[in-house]
Amino acid sequence: MDFERPISLEIKKREVSKNQLFLLRKQIKAMRKRIVEKIKSQKDALYPISAALGLIVIWQLSVYLLSIPKFLLPGPILVINEIFARWPLLFQHALVTLYETSVGFGIAVIISIPIAVIIVWSKPVEKMVMPLMVFLQTIPKIGIAALFIVWFGFGYFPKILISFLLAYFPIVIQLITGLRDIEPEVMDLAKSMSASPLQSFIKIRIPNSLPYMFNGLKLGSLLALVGAVVGEFLGSKGGLGYLVIYANDRLNTTLLFADLVVLLLLGKLLFSIVEWAERYLISWHVVMREKEKVMFTT
């Protein structure tokens, strides 16, 4: 009876089930690890939160006990009061910075995708453009910020341009890496199944590039904010960076602190929006990823 069974089929069957089992097991393992880590991280979150609270208490106490003048170091209670009292002003300036950052970031995303595709598509373009981009990447771009302000004045446009310039490089270079760095075996498989270049591009290269792209986007969103703020430092009529300089000139350190807190929250907001989009769009990657990539910004 064993004799009559087609052997090849059996092997195939077994292999498929084995593969599926392997994948399933891997997924379950990753999920379990994630859940355990989540519980653990909630417990672990107690440490930094209590440390931060402790620092704030020490800050308040030292301001109170050593009677440090307000223009040197305002206490945390004073800063929080200032945030609520000056909320309309802070909100209005935060909107300006948010506008500059998001427009610059949006343009960077729109432009970098076709450029990355062209570079990966054509070898001569890559050879011509890539070294140049790597070189441009090394120019301190906040130095160019001053040039834009001379050219385009104190309005929104130069800041949008700076945000764009800062966000553009990480996004485009990560995208290129993601589109290009594919295991050769996968490409061979696609070829052996006679997939057209377009098909392999859509089905293999683009999905492969998404995790890289989101790394670039995360970094880009932070850098876009830095760009807008530094642009506002150099010359502007509105925005959180302008408010920083305004408060600084008047030695209004309380307003300066309040402004910095709003800026910090804005940065966190932008970062978590991109992170949320990543979790939503490429959940297959986020679930399997073992550890978070650390972003370095200025």
Partner 1 sequence: MAPNREYKWTIGMKRALYPISTTILILFLWQMSIVLFSLPEFILPSPFVVIRAFFSQLNLLFNHALVTLYETIAGLILAIIFSVVISIIIVWSKGVEKTILPLVVFFQTTPKIAIAPLFIVWFGFGYTPKIIISFWVAYFPIAISMITGLRDVEPETIDLTKSMSATTLQTFIKVRIPNSLPHFFSGLKLGGLVAMLGSITGEFVGSDAGLGYLIVMANHNHDVKLLFSVLIALVIMGRTIYALTGWIEKHTISWHVAMRTEEEKFFTA
Q: Which residues bind partner 1 (CB under 8 A)?
A: 44-45, 47-48, 50-52, 71-72, 124, 127-132, 135, 137-144, 146-147, 149-151, 166, 169-170, 173, 177, 219, 222-223, 225-227, 229-230, 233-235, 240-241, 244-245, 247-248, 251, 253, 256-257, 260, 263-264, 267-268, 271, 294-298
Based on CB atoms, which residue is closest to partner 1, 146 or 282? 146
CB of 60 to partner 1, least distance (A): 18
> What minimum distance in Å lies between the beta carbon of 16 and partner 1?
33
Task: Kindly state the smallest distance separating residue 78's Cβ from partner 1, in Å.
Answer: 15
Least gap, CB of 288 to partner 1 (angstroms): 19
With tokens 């997924």, the residue in question is 27
Is 103 or 166 the residue whose CB approaches partner 1 more closely? Answer: 166
CB closer to partner 1, 11 vs 45:
45
Residue closer to partner 1 (CB basis): 190 or 257 = 257
Q: Which is nearer to partner 1, 200 or 242 (CB)?
A: 242
Minimum separation from the CB atom of position 62 to partner 1 (A):
15
Nearest distance from C-beta of residue 96 to partner 1, angstroms: 15
Nearer to partner 1, 101 or 200 (CB): 101
What is the number of other CB atoms lying within 10 angstroms of the CB of residue 72?
Answer: 9
